[in-house]
Amino acid sequence: MQYHIIHELPKRLRVRLQVAPNLDLNGEYLKNMFDGISGFSQMAYKSSTKSLVVEYNGDPADKKAILDQLSACCISHFEKGARETQKKSEDPKQRLATKKRALVGQLALRLLSPLLPLPIRAFLLAKASYQVISKGVPPLVKGNLNADVLDASAVSVALALREFGTVKTISFLLQVSDYLEDWTKQKSKESLTGLFDMENEWAWILKDSMETRVPVRDIKAGDTVVVREGHKIPVDGLVSKGEAMVSQACITGEALPVRKYNGVTVYAGTVLVEGKLLIEAVKVAGATRVSQMIKIIEESEDLKASLQSKAEHLADKIVPYSFLLSGLTWLTTGSAYKAASALLVDYSCAIKLATPLTLMSSMISASKNGVLIKGGKFIEEMATIDTFVLDKTGTLTEAKPEVLDVIPFNGFSREYLLRNVACVEEHFPHPVATAVVRKASEEGLDHEEEHSEVNHIVAHGIASEVNGREILVGSRHFINEDKNIDLKIAEKETQKYLADGRSILYVAIGGELAGLVVIEDPLRNGAGEFVQALQKSGVRKVVMLTGDNESAASKVAREVNISSYHSQVFPEDKTRIIRELGVNGHKVAMVGDGMNDAPALSSADVGISMHHGADIAKEVCDVLLMKADLDKIIFARDLSQKTLKRIKNNYFSIVGINSLLIGMGIMGVVPPVFSAFMHNATTVVVAANSLRKF
């Protein structure tokens, strides 16, 4: 089978399968491929994107085995499974509507049952019994004693006892439970789609100087979109004309509208509250930021929190004991009715429904507040973090550092120096690079593309050529130690600025020092309060990492009251420090936004990045802040802890209530039909609790 890797983390692969667009594959068939590989953990298949997310132990040999297994499999192996899946594939809303019609019909038949002829009643009883029993036979044959086997056994016992009314009640309640399970899942997805999705709406585009109404899904990149007051912006794009106030609450969580004007970026799903804008579409339909958020949350349903997996495993493990309890009850009491009570109540249905609904509700709540959590497992991890590792630049300090001074040497002019540094720096999204480019723009220094290919050396700097001469921009280590450029001429200025905690970019042209670019990185507003809030929330340790010099690092550490910090660290050092903390028993969250933070973000239990960061940092992180607000990290941690508390409360409620029902049924306090009714009612109540807003 052909495939290509679209994303990779140390213990996780995302692979896209190259199969026909109209061919859907059965996820269970795919999962069975990897079951024999020792390092394989779990797999999730997304039919809409034809992608697999495979989690394994991180061993390169096991990764190779997984990919080799995937390559060796022929698509024909899955044709039967694919055909079966295609037959069953149906729009979720249509499937829900079909179940609703069947349920209403079943209710009508139950009400009319006394008026129906005996043969018809017998046929309806047989049909209801078959629907329940047929679901329990396949897992029973495989030796998998699950909830379906329990239900089938209960109906079989009721039939044997000639309790036909009980059979009808059980089958009807199971049908109600099945419908409500699909209904709650559909509603949770609709709430997410309603929050963001716009593909089925209409918009106006400017075509040949005329405004034309078109479906949002038909808008193409480059189209000019007209948006007026009170309407949603349907694309990610740039304002080409007009000025307006736009509410970005659904993206960033900002309470107040933001001013948008010519050249400024706007995002799909945000609302224009005042004014009018002409917008050049850049990203449309499924490529917009909100569409990506929807996909991440939907795909994250398959990334279970370990708490959920443990609860489901325990629920399934309890099923054989239900049979044992039923048998012992029959042997000791001789009452088939009491024995049946133990078969009519199970734990797995409610647990398997409540936990994912709680996680999805939590992720939707996070998205509404400008925090994108990429999976249920990361909610659990976030709740138990005891150590935060913070990158200094862009996290504790502002995302927009400023150029404080430009100092030329060796005959180079200040203008020439700033113009050419800006020319090579503009190719990289790092905040320091942006500051240099902004400074050149403010001073009116245009810079044509006169340089050759620009090479970025991670954690060191940039190398290129300008008019045939090599230009190097970067750290002292890069310029002096790696490239042997003499820096003595700049010692006085260097010592002065470093002592004040400033950062310095060293620039060499043609093998000699051309100058210094002094960077001031202002402390982020509220950084000190954020660190204090982390410590008050129970975090045991806060560590700051930075590639800056000791003076700059100690200055920031003092200002935000962090006692543990490391200066002049490289990307591999950040990764090493995080791994050492993990080995020493800490649960670590890493907060960073730069290209060189990506390895550390991947190594942490939870990687957190901000929307203004490098693309690779936003890709590998587990939690993405849509607004550069450190308080959102506190919010995400608090939300995660509330989510786990709700999951645990649901779990104890399910176990407690259902255990009570089993006990009451065995003792003969309540009839089996009452146990069945209360069991299903409990499932519905717990599901409703799971969907409550946080």
Question: Please, which pLDDT band fits residue 239 given cuts at 50, 70 and 90?
Answer: very high
Q: Which structural domain range is residue 552 located in?
A: 371-397+524-626
- Domain boundary pick from 520, 535, 568: 520
Domain containing 25 — which CATH number?
3.30.70
In a shared domain, residues 516 and 528:
no
In a shared domain, residues 488 and 426:
yes
Position 354 scores a pLDDT of 79
Q: Is 233 exposed, middle or buried (0-12, 13-18, 19+ CB in 10 A)?
A: buried
What rounded mean pLDDT belongs to the chain?
Answer: 80
pTM for this structure? 0.59
Domain containing 391 — which CATH number?
3.40.50.1000
Residue 84, pLDDT above cutoff 50: no
In a shared domain, residues 611 and 552:
yes
In a shared domain, residues 61 and 24:
yes
Cα separation, 556 vs 578, whole angstroms = 20
User: In this predicted model, what pLDDT tens digit does every residue of 208-224 receive, in sequence order?
Assistant: 888 888 888 888 889 99
Least confident residue range of 211-215, 255-259, 340-344, 403-407: 255-259
* Catalytic choice (24, 62, 316, 391): 391
Can you tell me the mean pLDDT for 287-291? 63
In a shared domain, residues 336 and 348:
yes
- Domain boundary pick from 477, 498, 520: 520
Position 22 scores a pLDDT of 55
Residue 101 lies in a domain: yes
Residue 360, pLDDT above cutoff 60: yes
Position 694 scores a pLDDT of 84
In a shared domain, residues 534 and 601:
yes
Say which DSSP state 584 is in.
T
Contact of 245 with 275, CB cutoff 8 Å:
yes
Residue 197 lies in a domain: no
Cα separation, 388 vs 188, whole angstroms = 32
Pick the more confident residue, 442 or 89.
Answer: 442
- Domain boundary pick from 34, 58, 88: 88
Position 405 scores a pLDDT of 94
Position 439 scores a pLDDT of 92
Position 89 scores a pLDDT of 45
In a shared domain, residues 616 and 591:
yes
In a shared domain, residues 280 and 343:
no
Question: Please, which pLDDT band fits residue 186 given cuts at 50, 70 and 90?
Answer: low
Cα separation, 384 vs 641, whole angstroms = 8
Residue 642 lies in a domain: no
φ/ψ of 34, rounded to 5, equals -100, -5
Secondary structure (3-state) at 58: coil
If phi > 0 it is left, if psi is from -120 to 50 it is alpha, else beta; for residue 511 that is: left
Lookup: tokens for 239: 């304002």
Task: From 231, 196, 234, 205, select the one nearest 217 (Cα to Cα).
Answer: 234
Pick the more confident residue, 280 or 114.
Answer: 280
Residue 75 lies in a domain: yes
Label the pairing between strands 402-408 and 503-509.
unpaired
In a shared domain, residues 406 and 516:
yes
In a shared domain, residues 274 and 337:
no
Active site residue 391: yes
Residue 671 lies in a domain: yes
Residue 130 lies in a domain: yes
Question: Please, which pLDDT band fits residue 172 given cuts at 50, 70 and 90?
Answer: confident
User: In this predicted model, what pLDDT tens digit does every residue of 424-458 receive, in sequence order?
Assistant: 888 776 667 888 988 998 998 876 666 567 787 75
Domain containing 446 — which CATH number?
3.40.1110.10
Secondary structure (3-state) at 415: helix
Lookup: tokens for 318: 């309890």
Instruction: Please state the domain count of the chain.
Output: 5
Residue 264 lies in a domain: yes
Residue 599 lies in a domain: yes
Lookup: tokens for 43: 């797999």
Say which DSSP state 429 is in.
-
In a shared domain, residues 265 and 120:
no
In a shared domain, residues 471 and 501:
yes
